[in-house]
Amino acid sequence: MESEELGWESGPWVFGVQMLACAGMLGYRSLVVPKSLAIDKAVIVRFSGSFVTFQRTFLAVFILASVADALQVVYTEALYESYGFKRKEIAILLAVGYGSSLSLGTIIAASADYIGRKRACMLFGFFQALGCFAKQYPEFRILCFAHVSLGIATSLLYSSFESWMVVEHEKMGFRQEWLNETFWLMVFSNGVVATGCGALANVVANWRGFIGSAPLISAIVTALLSILAVKRTFTENVGTSPSLWRSIGHAVQCLSDRKVLLLGWTQACFDFSVVVFWYLWTPTLVADGREVHSAVIFTRLIASMVLGSIITACLLQGPYFFRPESFLPIVLFVGGISLFFPAYNHQEVKVLLWCFCVFHTCVGIALPSLARLRSLYIPNDRRAAVMSIFRIPVYFAVLVVLIQGGLHEKLDNSTIFGTAIAGLLSGAGCIHYIERTRGLPQELPLSERP
């Protein structure tokens, strides 16, 4: 049984099929779709040169920031084990990171609308470099400080860059639906970054001979480069609130809109399910004493997410032009069901792996779709603050999981997975409500698009 499982994991045909599917979808969308749309010359989608320049500049900076974040994550657990820390001590450090994201990170990220989103993006690079520097010292208190800094950086990464891009996109007068193109490319590039950073971390770790120091040094350099890139390429955009607390207060007022509140709940449930997955996927696979190739499986999961992002490009930006509300409930429902077997059946590794791949395909579809919904329902002046508030339930729930599950061992994996499943299903219901109350046709003809 064990040899069969290992053979399936390392079989190259699965990854090959995924890569061929990604290449096929990209080729179809790049070559076939434009020709089919050209039948109606009046409505063919063509991006302006200024938009392409703007998009490429933003994606280059965003990828640089994503690399800095990914490099410091790769060997975190192995690094702390080499320091001699036990599992419970590592759980405490992770809890400190999420706790700082919940408190300081939320306030600092929410202040981006007031202090300026460009400054907030530069602050990300500062806190990221500071945290990576501190992680190289095997003192528990210093590592706690490192996770406080990295927790703040994470909050800024998840809110400030997207907020800057959406506001600047509107300020430059680009068509609103062109945001779809940028959103799916952000997810696509994140998948490429995740795979590339894993390989890069292996190279630099072997080169320096230290499993954690070299990737962290690389992350520091990349974070500092992201500061320079933001400073040279971004222009400042600031909200209209006269003070920080007024800005946060206005963001809280946005939640009085039922659709914004439902979108926030869906976003929180989705983000929680992703965090839960990465926390539990390895323990789930080795639950019965199996030996698995984590690095090989990781590439399958990221390839599934990349494939999902390309599918989203076809659904949102051509050839179909669906609204995200029309298909997102199905995606969240399938994502929730795909976690059912990992939650309650640890016997068949092939079933588990296929469920993981399906879940990550759903993640690749949901990420840009939720981003598009945020661009539709959240006011620009309050965007960073509202997005930070959306993350509060995520950080709180993950803290509960780490404390009750990791430290006190009062939560088993099936309970945690079950909570994530319930969240995804409730999120599907929320998006369905948003779609039903909108009262528009499911699909918009090209001539009627904004």
**pLDDT digits over 62-102, tens only?**
999 999 998 888 777 777 877 888 878 888 888 888 888 88
Share of the chain above pLDDT 90, in %: 40
Give the helix/strand (H/E) hosting 435: helix 413-438
Beta strands in 334-425 (DSSP E): none
Query: Would the pLDDT of 60 be above 50?
Result: yes
Q: What CA dihedral angle connects 10, 13, 18 and 24, to 10 degrees?
A: 160
pLDDT of residue 44: 47
CA atoms within 13 A of residue 406's CA, in its CB half-sphere: 21
List, in sequence order, every residue forming a beta bridge with 387; answer none if it has no partner. none
Secondary structure class of 292 (helix, strand, coil): coil
Distance CA 295, CA 10 (A): 10
Distance CA 129, CA 125 (A): 6
The DSSP annotation for 62-86 comes to: HHHHHHHHHHHHHTHHHHHHHHT--
Distance CA 220, CA 72 (A): 9
CATH C-level class of 2-9+51-438: mainly alpha
pLDDT of residue 23: 64
| Residue 250 in tokens | 């206005």
CA atoms within 13 A of residue 101's CA, in its CB half-sphere: 30
pLDDT of residue 66: 92
Instruction: Answer for the pair 143, 94: CB distance below 8 angstroms, yes or no.
Output: no
Burial of 209: CB neighbours in 10 Å, binned 0-12, 13-18, 19+: exposed
Instruction: Answer for the pair 400, 275: CB distance below 8 angstroms, yes or no.
Output: no
Q: What are phi and psi of 322, to 5 degrees?
A: -80, 155
Residue with tokens 């009062």: 410
Distance CA 249, CA 240 (A): 13
Query: Would the pLDDT of 235 be above 80?
Result: yes
Give which of 368, 273, 349, 268 is closest to 311, Cα–Cα.
368
pLDDT of residue 101: 85
Rounded to 5°, the CA angle 177-179-185 comes to 130
| Residue 272 in tokens | 């929680």
Distance CA 411, CA 130 (A): 33
**Confidence class for position 215, pLDDT limits 50, 70, 90:** confident
For 289: left if phi > 0, alpha if psi spans -120 to 50, otherwise beta; the answer is left
Residue with tokens 């954690």: 212
pLDDT of residue 121: 95
What residues have CB less than 8 Å from 168, skipping those under 6 apart?
54, 58, 234, 235, 237
What residues have CB less than 8 Å from 245, skipping those under 6 apart?
none
Quick one: average pLDDT of 300-325?
85
Worst-scoring range by mean pLDDT, 37-46, 174-183, 270-279, 418-427?
37-46
| Residue 422 in tokens | 């319930």
Query: Would the pLDDT of 289 be above 70?
Result: no
Specify the pTM. 0.86
Give which of 231, 169, 160 is closest to 387, Cα–Cα.
160
Mean pLDDT of the chain: 82
**Alpha carbon of 27 to those of 1, 17, 22, 178, 316: distances in Å?**
39, 15, 9, 19, 17
- Sorted by where each begins, the domain ranges of the chain are 2-9+51-438
Query: Would the pLDDT of 346 be above 70?
Result: no
Quick one: average pLDDT of 399-416?
83
